[in-house]
C-alpha cells in the first residue's frame, strides 16, 4: 500500500507533464467532445433542417455559389426572411458534395465543427494570457457544457459554431497584431491585422452575431490600457481608433447585406413596443443565466412570451439576480488585479447582445441555446478561473479540492449532455419534449398536430391544431396546420375554409406553394394543384418539397409516368427519406411494374415502420407477388397501427378465406 501511495504522485505528475503539451492535450479534448456527441450521427434532419437543407435549391450545385452571396438563406421559403449567411451556405454545399442528404454526414460535420471550436477557444484563452491549465479548463468546460447541445446536435444551428470559430481566431489574430514581442517587425504585425480582418469578414458572412466584434475589440483595448494608468479620454480615443477598422468592415457588411436582402420586409413585431421589451429582458437574461449555471430542461422550443403581469416574479426578481451577479463580478475583478474577469463578463453579455433585441423575434421565441454558443466562452473563462481559486477544505489540499470539483463538474456535464441531446433525434422527440416543458408554445402545438396527422391520429391532430388557432390567433402557421390535419382526415370542406386563411406571404413562396398544391391534390382539385406545380418547378426544378408533393399529385391523378419521374428525382435528392420511396413504389405498382415497386415499398416500411399505409401498400405488392403469408403479416401490422382501416380489414378477411 505504501509503495502504491508513493507512486501515485509520480504518476499524476507524469500525466500532467505529458498533457502540458498542447499537441497531446488538444486531441484528448477533441476526442472527449466527439465521443459525447457521437450519438447525434444517428439523428435525422429535424425542424429547420427541412427548409434550410433538404429543400434548399442553392446547396445542390457549386454553380449557385454567387447566388449564396446575393440572396437570403430562406429566399425559397418566404420573402420577408432576413437570414444572410453565405458562408454557412458554402459549408452546406461542401456537406452536400460529400454526403448528399444523408443526415449522418451532416451531423458528423457539425460535431467536427464543435471540436474545432474547442481548439479555437483554447488558443483564444492562452492569448488572453490565461495560465496553461486554466486555458485547458476553459476548453474542457466549453467542450462539455450542455448548453451547447442545440448547435452541435442540430445541423441547422452549426452556423453558431462556425461563427464562433471565426470570431475566436479573429480575436487571436487581433491580439497577435498588437503584440510586438510575439510578432517583431511591422510587417508581421500588419499581416496578423489583415488576417484578423479577413476572419471577421468570414464571421460576418456566417451569422449576424459577429457584428459585436468591434465592440469586443474596443472593450479589450480600453481595459488593457487601464492597467497602464492611462487617462480616461486617451483610453477611449485609443480604443475607438483600434476598433475603427473592424467597425468600418462591419458597416461594409451591413451595406452588402442590405443590398442582398433588398426585398426583405424585416421581422419586427408591430404589436409590442420598447416598454414590453424592457419588461421582458430581465426574464430572458435570467433564463440564459440559469441555463449556464444549471443546464437542465434543455430544449429547442423554449417559450417566453412578453411579460404583461407578475412583475415581482418576472421582472423585479430576475433584475435583482442580474444586478447581484454583475456586482459580484465587479468585486471579483477588483480583487484579481487584472481585467480578465471584467473582459470575460463583458464578452458574455456583449456576445449575446444581437439576440436581445426581442422585436426581431416572434412573441415567445426569445430564448435559444444556440445564441449562447459564442458568449459562453466568457462564462467558461469565469468558471475556470473560479475553479482554480478554490481553497483547501478540511483535510483536503487545495489541489485535491480543485481536481475533485473539476471531475464532479465534468461528469455532471457529460451526463446532462448525453441525456438531453437525444431529444434532437427526430421531430417527434423534439416536439414531445417541447410540449412537456412548454405546452403553451404554438409552434409545438402546430408541429405535433402535423406529426400526429402524418401517423394517422387524425382526431388528436385536429384537436391540437384547433387549440393552437384558438389560443394563438396571431400565429400565422396555425390555419395551415389546421387545414392540413382536416384534409388528411378527409374533411375537405372544413379544410378548404382554413386553407383560404393561410398566411399569404408563405403561400406565395416556393415551399408554401408546394405545400398548398399538395393539399389541393389531396382534395382532388388536381387542376389547381398541378398549375401550382408547374409554376414552382419552372422556377426551382430541384426543390425537394415540390418534387415530392407534385409527384404525389400526379400519382393521385393517375398520371403514373409523371409521378415516377418526379418521385425518382426526389428519392435521388433525399435517399434517407422513406416517404418518396413509398410513393414511388406505389406509382410503379399502379403501372403494373410490381417487381420494381416492391423494393421501394419494402425500404419505406423498414425505414419508418410506424406509418400504417407503408405496410398496407407493401402487403398489396406482396399479395400480387403471391407471397400470401407475408402479405397477411403486413396487413395485420397496418391494422394495428390504424385500427379503423376498412381496406386492411377487408384484405385480411379475403386472405383468411383463402
The pLDDT confidence band at residue 2, using thresholds 50, 70 and 90, is very low
Residues 47, 103: Cα–Cα separation, whole Å: 13
Distances (CA, A) of 653 to 254, 616, 649: 68, 14, 6
> Model confidence at 1, in pLDDT bands (50, 70, 90)?
very low
- pLDDT category at 13 given cuts 50, 70, 90 is low
Q: Which pLDDT tens digit goes with each residue over 214-254?
A: 999 999 999 987 766 567 788 888 889 999 999 999 999 99
| Grid coordinates of 620 | 398489396
User: Tell me, what's the pLDDT at 4?
Assistant: 42
What does the pLDDT look like over 19-55, one tens digit per residue?
778 888 899 999 999 999 999 999 999 988 888 888 7
Tens digit of pLDDT for each residue in 89-145? 999 999 999 988 889 999 999 999 999 999 999 999 999 999 999 999 999 999 999
Q: How far apart are CA 344 and CA 333, in angstroms?
A: 10
Which of 64-78, 302-316, 366-380 has the lowest average pLDDT? Answer: 64-78
Q: What is the pLDDT of residue 329?
A: 92
Q: Which residue has the cell 393552437?
A: 468
Taking alpha carbons only, the member of 420, 137, 203 closest to residue 295 is 420
Would you state the pLDDT for residue 5? 45
What are 504-546's pLDDT values in tens digits? 777 777 777 778 888 888 888 888 888 888 888 887 787 777 8
Provide the H-helix boundaries in 455-525: 458-471, 478-488, 492-499, 504-508, 510-522
Please report which residue ranges of 305-387 form alpha helices under DSSP H: 311, 317-336, 340-352, 376-387
- Where do the structural domains in the chain lie, given as residue ranges? 25-424, 578-658
On whether the CB atoms of residues 486 and 462 are closer than 8 A, the answer is: yes
DSSP 8-class letter at 392: P
Q: Is 439 exposed, middle or buried (0-12, 13-18, 19+ CB in 10 A)?
A: exposed
12 vs 346: which has the higher pLDDT: 346
Q: How many CA atoms lie within 13 A of 391 on its CB side?
A: 2
**Whole-angstrom Cα Rg for the chain:** 28
Q: Which residue has the higher pLDDT, 657 or 559?
A: 559
Q: How far apart are CA 101 and CA 489, in angstroms?
A: 31
Residue 97, classed as helix, strand or coil, is: helix
For the segment 498-509, the average pLDDT, to the nearest whole number, is 76
Beta strands in 526-636 (DSSP E): none
Alpha-carbon distance of 358 to 361, in angstroms, equals 6
Percent of the chain with pLDDT over 90: 49
- Tell me which residue has cell 458572412: 205
Look-up of cell digits 421582458:
280
Q: What is the SS3 assignment for 20?
A: coil
For residue 365, the 8-state DSSP code is -
- List pLDDT tens digits, range 147-185: 999 999 999 999 999 999 999 999 999 999 987 555 666
Nearest Cα residue to 606 out of 627, 624, 585: 585
DSSP 393: B
Cell numbers linked to 243 = 476598433
DSSP state of 509: S
User: Exposure of 309 by Cβ count < 10 A (0-12 exposed, 13-18 middle, 19+ buried)?
Assistant: exposed
Please tell me whether residue 609 adopts helix, strand or coil conformation.
coil
pLDDT in the model for residue 264: 57
Q: pLDDT, tens digit, for every residue of 260-313?
A: 877 555 556 677 788 889 999 999 999 999 999 999 999 989 999 999 888 888
State the cell numbers at 250: 462591419
Alpha carbons within 13 A on the beta-carbon side of 107: 24
Over range 556-560, report the average pLDDT.
89
pLDDT tens by residue, 446-464: 999 998 988 888 899 999 9
Helix-then-strand count for the chain, H and E: 33, 0
Specify the fold of 578-658: 1.25.40
Residues 6+ apart with CB under 8 A from 329: 341, 342, 345, 382
Q: What is the mean pLDDT of residues 373-377?
A: 97
Amino acid at each position: 500500500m505504501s509503495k502504491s501511495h508513493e507512486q501515485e504522485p509520480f504518476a499524476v505528475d507524469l500525466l500532467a507533464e505529458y498533457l502540458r503539451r498542447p499537441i497531446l492535450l488538444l486531441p484528448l479534448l477533441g476526442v472527449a467532445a466527439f465521443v459525447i456527441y457521437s450519438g447525434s450521427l444517428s439523428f435525422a434532419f429535424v425542424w429547420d433542417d427541412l427548409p434550410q437543407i433538404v429543400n434548399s435549391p442553392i446547396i445542390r450545385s457549386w454553380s449557385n455559389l454567387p447566388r449564396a452571396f446575393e440572396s437570403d438563406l430562406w429566399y425559397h421559403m418566404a420573402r420577408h426572411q432576413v437570414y444572410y449567411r453565405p458562408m454557412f451556405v458554402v459549408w452546406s454545399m461542401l456537406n452536400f458534395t460529400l454526403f448528399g442528404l444523408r443526415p449522418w454526414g451532416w451531423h458528423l460535420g457539425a460535431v467536427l465543427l464543435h471540436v474545432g471550436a474547442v481548439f479555437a477557444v483554447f488558443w483564444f484563452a492562452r492569448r488572453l494570457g490565461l495560465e496553461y491549465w486554466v486555458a485547458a479548463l476553459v476548453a474542457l468546460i466549453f467542450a462539455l457544457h450542455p448548453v451547447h447541445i442545440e448547435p452541435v446536435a442540430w445541423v441547422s444551428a452549426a452556423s453558431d459554431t462556425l461563427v464562433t470559430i471565426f470570431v475566436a481566431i479573429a480575436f487571436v489574430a487581433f491580439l497577435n497584431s498588437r503584440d510586438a514581442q510575439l510578432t517583431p517587425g511591422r510587417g508581421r504585425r500588419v499581416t496578423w491585422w489583415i488576417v484578423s480582418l479577413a476572419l471577421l469578414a468570414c464571421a460576418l458572412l456566417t451569422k449576424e452575431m459577429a457584428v459585436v466584434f468591434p465592440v469586443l475589440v474596443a472593450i479589450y483595448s480600453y481595459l488593457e490600457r487601464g492597467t497602464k494608468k492611462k487617462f480616461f479620454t486617451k483610453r477611449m480615443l485609443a480604443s475607438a481608433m483600434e476598433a475603427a477598422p473592424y467597425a468600418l468592415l462591419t458597416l461594409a457588411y451591413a451595406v452588402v447585406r442590405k443590398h442582398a436582402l433588398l426585398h426583405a420586409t424585416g421581422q419586427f413585431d408591430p404589436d409590442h413596443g420598447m416598454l414590453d421589451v424592457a419588461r421582458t429582458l430581465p426574464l430572458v437574461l435570467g433564463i440564459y443565466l440559469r441555463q449556464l449555471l444549471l443546464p437542465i430542461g434543455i430544449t429547442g422550443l423554449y417559450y417566453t412570451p412578453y411579460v404583461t403581469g407578475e412583475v415581482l416574479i418576472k421582472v423585479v426578481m430576475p433584475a435583482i439576480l442580474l444586478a447581484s451577479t454583475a456586482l459580484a463580478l465587479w468585486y471579483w475583478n477588483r480583487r484579481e488585479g487584472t481585467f480578465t474577469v471584467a473582459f470575460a463578463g463583458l464578452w458574455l453579455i456583449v456576445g449575446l447582445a444581437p439576440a436581445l433585441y426581442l422585436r426581431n423575434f416572434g412573441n415567445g421565441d426569445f430564448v435559444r441555446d444556440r445564441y449562447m454558443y459564442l458568449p459562453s466562452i466568457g462564462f467558461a473563462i469565469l468558471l475556470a478561473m473560479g475553479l482554480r481559486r478554490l481553497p483547501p477544505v478540511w483535510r483536503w489540499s487545495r489541489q485535491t479540492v480543485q481536481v475533485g470539483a473539476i471531475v464532479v463538474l465534468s461528469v455532471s456535464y457529460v451526463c446532462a449532455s448525453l441525456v438531453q441531446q437525444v431529444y434532437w433525434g427526430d421531430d417527434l422527440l423534439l416536439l414531445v419534449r417541447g410540449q412537456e416543458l412548454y405546452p403553451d408554445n404554438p409552434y409545438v402545438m402546430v408541429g405535433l398536430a402535423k406529426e400526429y396527422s402524418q401517423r394517422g391520429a387524425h382526431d388528436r391532430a385536429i384537436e391540437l391544431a384547433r387549440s393552437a388557432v384558438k389560443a394563438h390567433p396571431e400565429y400565422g402557421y396555425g390555419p395551415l396546420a389546421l387545414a392540413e390535419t382536416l384534409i388528411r382526415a378527409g374533411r375537405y370542406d372544413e379544410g378548404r375554409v382554413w386553407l383560404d386563411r393561410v398566411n399569404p406571404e408563405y403561400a406565395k413562396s416556393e415551399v408554401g406553394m408546394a405545400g398548398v398544391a399538395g393539399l389541393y391534390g389531396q382534395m382532388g382539385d388536381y387542376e389547381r394543384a398541378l398549375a401550382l406545380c408547374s409554376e414552382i418547378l419552372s422556377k426551382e426544378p430541384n426543390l425537394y418539397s415540390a418534387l415530392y408533393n407534385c409527384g404525389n399529385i400526379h400519382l393521385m391523378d393517375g398520371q403514373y409516368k409523371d409521378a415516377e419521374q418526379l418521385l425518382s428525382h426526389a428519392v435521388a435528392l433525399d435517399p434517407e427519406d422513406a416517404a418518396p420511396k413509398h410513393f414511388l413504389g406505389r406509382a410503379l405498382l399502379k403501372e403494373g411494374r410490381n417487381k420494381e415497386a416492391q423494393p421501394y415499398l419494402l425500404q419505406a416500411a423498414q425505414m419508418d415502420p410506424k406509418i400504417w399505409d407503408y405496410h398496407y401498400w407493401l402487403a398489396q405488392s406482396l399479395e400480387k407477388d403471391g407471397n400470401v403469408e407475408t402479405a397477411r403479416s403486413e396487413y395485420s401490422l397496418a391494422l394495428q397501427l390504424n385500427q379503423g382501416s376498412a381496406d386492411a380489414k377487408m384484405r385480411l378477411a379475403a386472405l383468411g378465406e383463402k
